[in-house]
Amino acid sequence: MKLVSVETPEKNVCKMTFSASAAELEEAAEAVYERTRDTFTIKGFAKGQADRAQIEADRGEHVFWYDAINDLMDRDVPGLYEQALAGGGLTPVDEPSYDLVSVKKEEGFVATATVALQPTLQLGKTEGFEVNCTIPATTDKEVERVIERRRAGFAELVPHKGPAVKGNIVHMNYTGYVNGEPFPGGSAEKQAVELGRGRMIPGFEEGIIGHQAGDEFDLNVTFPANYHAKDLAGKEATFKIKVIDVCIRQLPALNSDFAKKAGKVDTMEEYRAQVHDQLAGRKRTAAINHARNQILMLLADAAEGELPGILVENAYHAEMQSFQQQLQMQRMSLDKYLGQVHQTRDEFKATVRKAAERNTRARMALLQIAGAEGLVPTDAELDAQLAQRAEMAKKTLEEVKAKTDLRAFRRNEAIRRAADWVIQRSTVKEIQA
């Protein structure tokens, strides 16, 4: 492969164009064929027996191209990319975005790498910022709620002789049948089910209520129409169930024994004070971190100049992805969230984009400060940090460095150091609510 051109289509953005000849593409495609031929099943041939021409006739002549392109890009582009950066004295501030421009059997292929370059901002102010930090009070009710949660963690399961009721934990063996046949994932032994939690399919937990240890019975239920296993959705099922035992969760008394177990202190008064201090400490830490971020946002507001569009766009997509992952962890859809905050999709996207632009501006300002104040880590300092990682991972320094993006690592460490520099030279006024 070769580097065809290095252009700046817009301010602080570099676009590199690479190309591979038809011969290079063919050689790489042949290597992919040799590596993967045993995985193809072509009609009329045993698996792995079809030759390349037969595979391409069945799957298309491009079947090996894209793996071949990736192989060539992985092999040659990193070196050409570094060569272009060094030759132009360019400083990237993000990972490059690659695009395949064209690919033809007779001509090879053309690809581009577009990367944001470090902008020069006008920093109106770099220190002396002032923010208020309001630390919420910690109430007795909050302390008691934490103690009750921890108390539940020390609860013991005690057998219950009577019939099962909502809230009991039932241990059981069961096997599920659809059309008289057991189905995958439909059986379990010594399965614990807390009645009323709604963890099982509708009707299952309700059907256990009223039964007691030793009972064996059939339970008829219907899988929901939107059940995740499509082959079971909407179908009727019969579960043959044997109840092993019925238990209640017995909470420990809030006395000195509990205080010693939960907090390693002698009395409940001491334990309550301990929990209070823990909650107050967490609130203070969260408030201080918020204040630190406010300082960096004031720095962003004081920094003027054009940011690379691709850098802001990448930051926007990263923040959108992160937010959507958080919603998935909470089992909440974006539409439901937007309904709660009374925002349209367009309004929400505009809010996220504005935050991405502000955060990006702060990072670029910090990177510029790091360069001006000598805060960019040296090779020796980076090696020292990576050596610690290597020791923890029980690997060699070379192994860790081989899997680390050293440029991004240096950049992020420089930004972190600059953030500390700005915050140390600013004022956070703590206010107790």
pLDDT tens for 231-255 read 999 999 999 999 999 999 999 999 9
* 116 neighbors 308 (Cβ within 8 angstroms): yes
Structural domain count, the chain: 3
Q: What is the pLDDT of residue 156?
A: 93
Q: In this structure, are 272 and 242 located in the same domain?
A: no
Assess if residue 313 is contained within a domain: yes
Assess if residue 162 is contained within a domain: yes
> Long-range CB contacts (< 8 A, 24+ apart) of 375-379?
375/414, 375/417, 375/418, 375/421, 376/410, 376/414, 376/417, 377/410, 377/413, 377/414, 377/417
Q: In this structure, are 98 and 185 located in the same domain?
A: no
**Residue range 336-360: average pLDDT?**
94
Split at pLDDT 50, 70, 90, the class of 376 is: very high
Q: In this structure, are 285 and 319 located in the same domain?
A: yes
Q: In this structure, are 61 and 27 located in the same domain?
A: yes
Assess if residue 72 is contained within a domain: yes
Q: What is the pLDDT of residue 289?
A: 96
Split at pLDDT 50, 70, 90, the class of 412 is: very high
Q: Which of 193, 219, 250 corresponds to the end of one domain?
A: 250
Assess if residue 255 is contained within a domain: no
b/e burial code for range 221-240 (CB count within 10 A of at least 16 → b): bebeeeeeeeebeeeebebe
Q: What is the pLDDT of residue 331?
A: 86
**Residue range 62-75: average pLDDT?**
95
Q: In this structure, are 13 and 40 located in the same domain?
A: yes
Split at pLDDT 50, 70, 90, the class of 44 is: confident
Give the separation between CA 50 and CA 155, rounded to whole angstroms: 64
* Whole-Å CA distances, 396 to 105, 384, 393, 413: 43, 12, 9, 21
Assess if residue 262 is contained within a domain: no
Q: In this structure, are 161 and 15 located in the same domain?
A: no
**pLDDT of 270-293, one tens digit each?**
999 999 999 999 999 999 999 999
Q: What is the pLDDT of residue 203?
A: 95
Q: What is the pLDDT of residue 46?
A: 85
CATH number of the domain residue 286 falls in = 1.10.3120
Assess if residue 51 is contained within a domain: yes
Q: In this structure, are 30 and 164 located in the same domain?
A: no
CATH number of the domain residue 224 falls in = 3.10.50.40
Q: What is the pLDDT of residue 316?
A: 96
Q: Which of 69, 102, 117 corresponds to the end of one domain?
A: 117
**Residue range 141-149: average pLDDT?**
97
- Highest average pLDDT, of 51-55, 138-142, 338-342, comes from 138-142
CATH number of the domain residue 106 falls in = 3.30.70.1050
Q: In this structure, are 20 and 75 located in the same domain?
A: yes
Residue 47 clears pLDDT 90, i.e. is over it: no
Q: In this structure, are 171 and 99 located in the same domain?
A: no
Q: What is the pLDDT of residue 161?
A: 86
Residue 125 clears pLDDT 90, i.e. is over it: yes
Tell me the β-bridge partners of 130: 427
Split at pLDDT 50, 70, 90, the class of 431 is: very high
Q: In this structure, are 418 and 286 located in the same domain?
A: yes
Assess if residue 141 is contained within a domain: no
Tokens standing for residue 146: 């934490």
Q: In this structure, are 162 and 70 located in the same domain?
A: no
Q: Which of 63, 98, 117 corresponds to the end of one domain?
A: 117
Over the chain, what HEC string results?
CEEEEEEEEECCEEEEEEEECHHHHHHHHHHHHHHHHHHCCCCCCCCCCCCHHHHHHHHCCCCCHHHHHHHHHHHHHHHHHHHHHHHHCCCECCCCEEEEEEEECCCEEEEEEEEEECCCCEECCCCCCEEEEEECCCCHHHHHHHHHHHHHHCCEEEECCCCCCCCCEEEEEEEEEECCEEEEEEEEEEEEEECCCCCCCCCHHHHHCCCCCCCEEEEEEECCCCCCCCCCCCCEEEEEEEEEEEEEEECCCCCHHHHHHHHCCCCHHHHHHHHHHHHHHHHHHHHHHHHHHHHHHHHHHCEECCCCHHHHHHHHHHHHHHHHHHHHHCCCCHHHHHHHHCCCHHHHHHHHHHHHHHHHHHHHHHHHHHHHCCCCCCHHHHHHHHHHHHHHHCCCHHHHHHCCCHHHHHHHHHHHHHHHHHHHCCEEEEEEC
pTM: 0.79
* 406 neighbors 109 (Cβ within 8 angstroms): no
Assess if residue 139 is contained within a domain: no
Q: In this structure, are 395 and 274 located in the same domain?
A: yes
What is the span of the domain harbouring residue 288? 267-432
